Amino acid sequence: MAAACAWDALPEHLQERILSLLPLTALLPVAAASRALRRLLRSRAFHALLTPHRLDAFFLLSPRLAFHPLSRRLLPAPPAASPPVVSSPSHLVTAASLLRLPPLPATSYLLAVVLPIPASSSSSSSCSREFTLVAVTAGARVRSYTLDSADPSPRWDPRGDLPLPFALLGNAAGDRRQLFVLGRGPDAILVFDLATGQWTVLPAAMPLGLTTAHLFVFGGRLFLVGGVERFGVVERVLVWRLEGSEAAAEWTEVGAMPEEVFDELVAGRHGSFWHFQAADRMGIVCLYNAVDGRLVMFDAVDGGWTRLSRVSGLDVEESRRWFGHVVEPRVELLLG
């Protein structure tokens, strides 16, 4: 009772400040504690204080299942009608949503969707937010295009050509100002300036033996997590951070997946395992072996690795289409 009275004695604005530090999904049981707390959590003043929490997200594994980092559990996924084509944590671009926009330029595909950093979780739903789509063409000469949804008449604007031919492009990571894109064949990091539309190649030698790889940005730093192969087989998984200036950058190893976590990821298939998928949000990176239903997590804050619940009962091809996309919970959860 004394603890309850101490909380009740706090001014409402301090209660709001304290509760706003919690993940959104952690507030659901709080809302059920009392009418006063439920009223506070549903107020616009409280919603204006909310910002995305790094542990509060859903890493999609299928249209029905997602991994939730905060609880370390597999939970029912937020409703989604079809697999996203490309996404950011707060905006999913599906084939159906593309029908409302001008057709993609010939032979091109979507590389990234870029959103401004949200001021708070009280913003309007993700479908009404402004965003920029980045598309690139396939082939030896790679062209790029962008579409700005804020334009009253959205259109695909030609941007710069890539400075080198690449066999394929991997994932993109960055912000509203620039994207870092993983180029394969040859291996390189491309930098796309969203303001000028120009591409450059980062002068940093890529790690030797790099196979499956994923870029992510955390704390204003660029990271790379990837498998290191020998004779076509992944032998270990490492994490690198880009150090130095853009003119003299180099990859520095900052972490290695422990042997027991690696054993979990490869499901005992040492000598024949060669590929995993990856997804990230705010320094949380999940690596997924869809064939064997194995999922592990890396946290860039403390460099820790976690073995997660095994995934079963999912169609492998369907799960591969869904994984890689991360959904943030919305403030509507608190509104019932």
Element (H, E) at 184: strand 178-184
Does 134 have pLDDT greater than 50? yes
For residue 269, pLDDT beyond 90 = no
SS3 128: helix
Q: How many domains does the chain have?
A: 1
Q: Is residue 44 part of a domain?
A: yes
* Structure tokens belonging to residue 6: 């101490």
Predicted confidence at residue 330, as pLDDT, reads 82
Q: What is the pLDDT of residue 125?
A: 40
pLDDT band, residue 124 (cuts 50/70/90): very low
Radius of gyration of the chain (CA): 21
pLDDT tens for each residue of 53-110: 888 899 999 988 999 999 999 998 877 667 888 887 667 888 888 888 999 999 999 9
Please give the model's pTM, rounded to 2 decimal places: 0.88
| Arithmetic mean of pLDDT, 188-206 | 94
More confident residue, 291 or 335: 291
Q: 249 in a domain, yes or no?
A: no
Q: How many CA atoms does the CB half-sphere of 304 hold within 13 Å?
A: 5
Going by the DSSP 8-state scheme, the letter that residue 232 receives in this structure is T
What is the per-residue pLDDT for 172?
94
Residue 16 lies in a domain: yes
Share of the chain above pLDDT 70, in %: 93
- Maximum pairwise Cα distance, the chain: 71
Provide the edge-to-edge strand list for the sheet that holds 233-243. Answer: 210-218, 221-230, 233-243, 250-256
Is residue 275 classed exposed, middle or buried when 0-12, 13-18 and 19+ CB atoms within 10 A define those classes? Answer: exposed
pLDDT of residue 282: 93
Torsion, CA 311, CA 313, CA 314, CA 316, rounded to 10: 90
Q: Is residue 32 part of a domain?
A: yes
Which pLDDT score is estimated for 197? 95
Find the helix or strand (DSSP H, E) in which 38 lies: helix 35-41
Comparing 293 with 233, which gets the higher pLDDT?
Answer: 293
pLDDT at 122: 42
Q: Report the length, in residues, of the chain.
A: 336
Report yes or no on 36 lying in a domain.
Answer: yes
Percent of the chain whose predicted confidence (pLDDT) is above 90: 59
Residue 177 in tokens: 């100002």
Question: CA–CA separation, 7 vs 1, rounded Å?
Answer: 10
Q: Which domain holds residue 18?
A: 10-49
Is residue 29 situated within a structural domain? yes
Is the pLDDT at 333 greater than 90? The verdict is no
- 17 domain-assigned: yes
Q: Is residue 58 one of the residues assigned to a domain?
A: no
- Confidence label for 283 from pLDDT (cuts 50, 70 and 90): very high
Q: Which of 4-18, 217-231, 267-281 has the highest mean pLDDT?
A: 217-231
On whether the CB atoms of residues 25 and 70 are closer than 8 A, the answer is: yes
pLDDT of residue 336: 66
User: Averaged over 115-139, what is the pLDDT?
Assistant: 65
The amino acid at residue 293 is G
- Surface-to-core class of residue 80, CB atoms within 10 Å of its CB (0-12 exposed, 13-18 middle, 19+ buried): middle
**pLDDT of 186 higher than 50:** yes
Collect contacts of 119-122 with beta carbons under 8 A, ≥24 apart.
Answer: 120/47, 120/48, 120/49, 120/50, 120/51, 121/24, 121/47, 121/50, 121/51, 121/52, 121/328, 121/330, 121/331, 122/44, 122/47, 122/48, 122/50, 122/331
